[in-house]
Structure 1
């Protein structure tokens, strides 16, 4: 009887010890799972990077950004740690992000070099054409733990881009002028982001072959081109901006025919999924101009 009681006691002790060991193993396993599932905190140093991260489901991981990151609406609540001229390095150090995504051409290079020297993980966004957006969506999605959604977003983007391109590939080419800025009058050429809008919408840019991507020109250079449509993007971030006063030049066909299109500059100039909506809208507006011109010609 005593032996039975002793064995029963030892068995209970062993079961208790085994249960405790299982609890400990489960705790360690859960810790490892948490580490694997943890999404990195991010400082996104451009409005287009912020927008792209929201598109892939990583918006809530952003803990700092720069001025003008205002889309989508919830992006306005993200703390600001600088602008395209200067970053607040002490704020970055204080926030201790797991990842910094910077804009290759839009952030102060000396500040970025300093952050790299301090050991921060800095990667770069550098989209130059529409197809680069899909590549970056996939890349950022993988880095932030959203690969599945990133793939869905990228694939949808690629299909929509192909659809728009095909819809306008056989359209009659018309001559257009792109007003990037009014004072001084600045346009676009090959190598610029907006030039691809003209290429897809089938608009001839008389300044396409200028060496610099964003040349400053005079109105006297525009007049001989017989421009049929003027693209004058405007931004909500530039409410004080005055567009070029084209009404002073009625001899330009686009002015005479009232063919001045004013798209959303933010949607067009930010290298994001939303730029396809801007492309689709612009091509449709230009197609209306094309129809008006054909009717006048007939």
Structure 2
């Protein structure tokens, strides 16, 4: 009887231990299924994934994915020009997040034909960033963190809009590139920065989003501020030599600012910091002009 009791006790303990092991194994399986491995095919996608806590799930990315610092350690499997299909096949990601207009369409089509699960990113404005954050969070297993990040982003954006909505507009020129001289218009990503910071862009209504402009077209616009974003990834780049044109009011008054191009041109949470900084610098020019004409 005593032996039977001992055997029964051991059996119950064994069953309990097995149940716990089974439960733990199932939890790990579910966790793996809900936290897929990812190839992120653009710098802004990588940033978003880190923002929602999915950075460690990224097993491959493309060139220039250098933020945050940890992103520099991710293996690069191509660029915006060409993807290394063989490397993608080797890595066997559970999910590929691609940039709809920034990745080679033929490579993406081939990956789809090979059966890879591809989700597309195409944020065209600040509001789209919050939408994509929520979507990426949901498909990568970080819904709660994604919602928190998206709500904070939306609140910050609303605060910036409220701060600058009644400011006096000043005339500005946005130098996207210097050779050839290229600016922005409606439909471009940077135009919303100008709109929210109350900068009147004389080229806003040009049909193409990123028009090439001759200096002869800039001169009659009475530009009060020149915005010349620069990137650490463009060390060889030289900005347009505005000092050769002192007839432009912005040049004469030394109202040329050089914000961080990487922060401004990547469609990420960080772009709001760039927006806030830009608006503050523009406000300084606004104050200078008001004092000059008072």
Q: TM-score range by the shorter chain?
A: over 0.9
Pair 1:185-2:181 in alignment: yes
The equivalent position to 1:171 in structure 2, one of 167, 173, 179, is 167
TM-align CA RMSD: 1.2
Pair 1:194-2:194 in alignment: no
Cα separation, 2, equivalents of 1:35 and 1:119 = 22
Pair 1:36-2:66 in alignment: no
Cα separation, 1, equivalents of 2:67 and 2:78 = 17
* Residue correspondence of structure 1 range 15-34 to structure 2 within 5 A: 15-34=9-28
Cα separation, 2, equivalents of 1:99 and 1:229 = 44
Displacement of 1:13 in angstroms is 3.8
* Residue correspondence of structure 1 range 133-212 to structure 2 within 5 A: 133-212=129-208
Query: In the alignment, what sits opposite 1:56?
Result: 52
Pair 1:76-2:72 in alignment: yes
Cα separation, 1, equivalents of 2:70 and 2:3 = 61
Query: In the alignment, what sits opposite 2:291?
Result: 295
The equivalent position to 1:226 in structure 2, one of 213, 222, 225, is 222
Q: Counterpart of 2:186 in 1: which secondary structure? A: coil
Displacement of 1:271 in angstroms is 0.5
Pair 1:254-2:245 in alignment: no
Q: Counterpart of 2:233 in 1: which secondary structure? A: helix
Cα separation, 2, equivalents of 1:245 and 1:161 = 34
Cα separation, 1, equivalents of 2:274 and 2:12 = 63
Pair 1:279-2:275 in alignment: yes
Identify unmatched segments of 5+ residues in structure 1.
1-6
Cα separation, 2, equivalents of 1:276 and 1:256 = 30
Displacement of 1:93 in angstroms is 0.7
Displacement of 1:22 in angstroms is 3.3
The equivalent position to 1:66 in structure 2, one of 62, 66, 69, is 62
Displacement of 1:138 in angstroms is 1.0
Query: In the alignment, what sits opposite 1:4?
Result: none
Query: In the alignment, what sits opposite 1:128?
Result: 124
Cα separation, 2, equivalents of 1:8 and 1:110 = 74
Identify unmatched segments of 5+ residues in structure 2.
none
Displacement of 1:8 in angstroms is 4.3
Task: Give the length in aligned residue pairs.
Answer: 292
Quick check: which has more Rg, 1 or 2? 1
Cα separation, 2, equivalents of 1:20 and 1:116 = 47
**TM-score of the two chains, using structure 1 as the length reference:** 0.95
Query: In the alignment, what sits opposite 2:101?
Result: 105
The equivalent position to 1:91 in structure 2, one of 71, 87, 100, is 87
**Which deviates more, 14-23 or 98-107?**
14-23
Cα separation, 2, equivalents of 1:108 and 1:28 = 44
